[in-house]
Structure 1
Amino acid sequence: MNPLAAHYTRFRVAERLLLTGHSHQAWPDVAVEGQLAAFDDAASDVDGKWARAAAKADEVRAAVRGWLDDPDADIALGGSTHDLVLRLLSALDLRHRPRLVTTDGEFHTLRRQLTRLAEEGVEVVWVPSAPADTLAARLAEQTDDRTCAVLVSKVLFATSRIVGGLAELAAACTRHGAELVVDAYHALGVAPFSVPGEGLGQAWVLGGGYKYLQYGEGNCFLRLPAHAQALRPVITGWFAEFGSLDGEASGRVGYARGGDRFAGATYDPTSHYRAARVARFFAEQGLTASRLREISLRQTTLLARHFDELDLPPEVVTRDRSAPREAFGGFLALECADAAGLCAALAGRGVRTDSRGRYLRFGPAPYLSDTQLADAMAALASVV
């Protein structure tokens, strides 16, 4: 058994083949301490709990800054990335720059919302996500003086390919006065990412802790560039002016400084209590960004090797062998004739995976053993 699995007994990770790590990882047992602490603070302080809740939110922001390698970043928090995307889009000048550039490989949060905006007359340019090696350059070519924002993922959610060249894309956006929005949700905790290292000082970075960081639901964030303090998002809640509520209303909506400029309204702080405790657990276990990448790369390489040894019919299931495993994120994406059918068949054998379109995704996690990875791939051979 993987020794780390002893900290995940409530999710029974040593007993089950949970290969849904890219979609939802198990929570460590200590996460329940955060859940209970949220209840205890509410019971003790009633409405006075918000000072303690704010402190937990600050712990989450501090943890996010660590994953971004951006210690001074302004961080807005939200219950979902969609919530944060709406606040961001509402701050942009789409009236005078009604053009958005994105890819056909974005997660449904962007895919659905941008498609709906296109139905209302916003020009949306969909750049093919493949080949990933040239994606950033092709996005830069589509960026012009009418472009309001360019939106792209660091790791493509369906194929697991890592998108490089973001510094050059950021420079192109700056030249044209466009915003760059990088979705790092599928990178943090499993693939290399650094705001300064990627040249993203002037970019917005979107993400959350539901996947590799094991924070659970309700823990999403938006990293703000410095010029965000000059913007006035249309969609915000009363928490965005929390510090000035006792003053006289001026007739013009006011905004807080920092990440709270993009804040929402009353929320359930339990998610932040849980995330703060899990973040401390990661620190206690030495689960740093570099360590988690080392574990993930080893596991996905092992899965790929086991898959290749099966020698399954490529017309039924195959994988991208055009790049080394270092070019991929935290899961093995298998292209299938019937990904959903294979996913369901694997579930019937006790192997939890997930599928998106034609891709079946095997997502390992740091608490799984090599034997579990081998057993899961053997099950794939059986169902095929």
Structure 2
Amino acid sequence: MSYKSHYRHFFELHPQQLHCAPHSHHYWPDVTRKAQLEYWDDSAVGVDHKWDKIFGEKVPHVQQRLAQLLNYPAPEQFVFAPNTHELLYRVISAFAQDQPLRILTTDSEFHSFSRQVRRLAERPQVAVTVVATEPFDSFASRWSDALAGAAHDLIFCSQVYFNSGVIAPWVETWLDQVPSDTQIIIDGYHGCGAIETDLSRVADRVFYLAGSYKYLQAGEGCCFMSVPRDCSLRPEYTGWFADFNSLAKPQQGPIDYANDGFRFAGATQDFSALYRLAAVLDWWHQEGLTVAQIHRHVQTQQQAFLAVLDVAQHPVLNRSRLLHNGLAEHGHFYTFELDSAEQVSELAVQLQQAGIATDYRYKRLRFGFALYHDPEDFHVLTQALSKVG
């Protein structure tokens, strides 16, 4: 089945492009354009009272949709922010700055975390243990050793590594090694909406971070985090949304927090992205489109892509350069590691000139796959690869 008709507006503006960067900048389906206008109209009608609709209708609706998507038992535990970094830092800010903070993570975390934790590590009381994800086939064992080797206050690990597309060992496989007072954050940004995710058994134990920019297809500005029920952390980095229901009360005495996920909320933000996310999730619901179906569709595109590569026999861009830990279950993008950053940037530019959009980081060139791809789309690669070095 082809889903191209749902992305008409983006395709009309890029008619000659094979967009292989949805893991970075995903095309938005047409339903999001109507949602953007709906936000404008609601703002015009409601003015100051638009918040009544946003918090009374839209936020609970998206919370319900996310709970359905992730098999999460408590929709009210989802909190929203313009980006994951805000939510991440609110969790970090719940730890006293003058006390030791021991963090366990990997060397394949996105910059929102990796940059922040490098800065935190400049404090003498912060200790960061970093486990290399490669070689992938031994990571689970080495991660287990790190868990057993020392106590940690915070564990941060991706669901799908952004720099390879490899799926990490799911938290349930190692959760029993973690003390109950250790906070766990799973970065689901490259997994949510792409890989089937069931949070039902870990809902009261982990924070799950994700957002609408990648596979949820609604663009930037709507990230979210699930917060374990009965969480009593008191983030120092806090905003007025975090105790929204008490705004009419005197703002004196101890700082109070909401008793749900909004204890990690911030302050005023543009909720147009939440409208767009609602439109995408409603579209999936109306179509009966599940993450499992999306995943199978993408796997078909990935097989078609690899078949073209095998025929092309390009000296650089080929299966031998593909990073993976078994292709039966892999994220929705392929990453090829080449010899140098210069080689990657040159190849990416040549592909762009041939109408093929990719993206790259250092020595790694990434090709993403989406609902709006069909197997025949990748035939254009054959001619393009015959002309690029």
1:110 aligns with 2:113: yes
2:143 to 136, 139, 143: 139
Deviation string 1:170-194 (CA, Å, 9 cap, x unpaired) is 222236x321111111011212321
C-alpha contact (below 8 Å) 2:222/2:277 kept by paired residues: yes
How far has the Cα of 1:339 moved from its partner? 1.9
1:236 to 229, 235, 238: 238
How well do the aligned residues superpose, as a CA RMSD in angstroms? 2.2
1:152 aligns with 2:157: yes
- Mean alpha-carbon deviation: is it higher for 373-382 or for 290-299? 373-382
1:372 aligns with 2:371: no
Task: Give the 3-state SS of the residue equivalent to 1:119 in structure 2.
Answer: coil
1:76 to 74, 79, 87: 79
- Mean alpha-carbon deviation: is it higher for 313-322 or for 351-360? 313-322
C-alpha contact (below 8 Å) 2:166/2:324 kept by paired residues: no
Match of 1:40 in 2: 41
Alignment-mate amino acid for residue 75 of structure 1:
F
Alignment-mate amino acid for residue 7 of structure 2:
Y
Alignment-mate amino acid for residue 68 of structure 1:
L
- Mean alpha-carbon deviation: is it higher for 31-40 or for 50-59? 50-59
How far has the Cα of 1:287 moved from its partner? 2.3
Match of 1:19 in 2: 20
- Mean alpha-carbon deviation: is it higher for 279-288 or for 361-370? 279-288
Deviation string 1:199-250 (CA, Å, 9 cap, x unpaired) is 564111111111111011111111111242x111111110111101111233
Alignment-mate amino acid for residue 36 of structure 2:
Q
Match of 2:225 in 1: 222
Distance between the aligned counterparts of 1:321 and 1:244, measured in 2?
Answer: 51
Match of 2:332 in 1: 330
Deviation string 1:286-308 (CA, Å, 9 cap, x unpaired) is 32111011111111122122223
1:161 to 144, 158, 166: 166
* TM-score, L = length of structure 1: 0.92
Distance between the aligned counterparts of 2:121 and 2:257, measured in 1?
Answer: 29
1:347 aligns with 2:347: no
Match of 1:30 in 2: 31
How far has the Cα of 1:321 moved from its partner? 7.0
C-alpha contact (below 8 Å) 1:301/1:325 kept by paired residues: no
Distance between the aligned counterparts of 1:227 and 1:104, measured in 2?
Answer: 31
Match of 1:4 in 2: 3
Deviation string 1:22-56 (CA, Å, 9 cap, x unpaired) is 11211111211111111111111110001112222
C-alpha contact (below 8 Å) 1:154/1:184 kept by paired residues: yes
* Alpha-carbon distance change, 235 to 189 in structure 1, aligned in 2, over 3 angstroms: same
Percent of matched pairs sharing the same residue = 32
Matches within 5 A, 1:46-65: 46-54=47-55, 55-65=57-67
Task: Give the 3-state SS of the residue equivalent to 1:180 in structure 2.
Answer: strand
1:184 aligns with 2:184: no
* Alpha-carbon distance change, 364 to 316 in structure 1, aligned in 2, over 3 angstroms: closer
How far has the Cα of 1:169 moved from its partner? 2.3
How far has the Cα of 1:14 moved from its partner? 6.0
Distance between the aligned counterparts of 1:315 and 1:26, measured in 2?
Answer: 25
C-alpha contact (below 8 Å) 2:21/2:369 kept by paired residues: yes
Task: Give the 3-state SS of the residue equivalent to 2:80 in structure 1.
Answer: strand
C-alpha contact (below 8 Å) 1:101/1:150 kept by paired residues: yes
Match of 2:250 in 1: 248
Match of 1:298 in 2: 300
* Alpha-carbon distance change, 318 to 235 in structure 1, aligned in 2, over 3 angstroms: same
C-alpha contact (below 8 Å) 1:316/1:336 kept by paired residues: no
How far has the Cα of 1:136 moved from its partner? 3.9
Distance between the aligned counterparts of 2:229 and 2:378, measured in 1?
Answer: 44
C-alpha contact (below 8 Å) 1:94/1:148 kept by paired residues: no
C-alpha contact (below 8 Å) 1:353/1:362 kept by paired residues: yes
Match of 1:358 in 2: 363
Task: Give the 3-state SS of the residue equivalent to 2:236 in structure 1.
Answer: coil
* Alpha-carbon distance change, 250 to 377 in structure 1, aligned in 2, over 3 angstroms: farther
Task: Give the 3-state SS of the residue equivalent to 2:276 in structure 1.
Answer: helix
* TM-score, L = length of structure 2: 0.91
How far has the Cα of 1:379 moved from its partner? 2.0
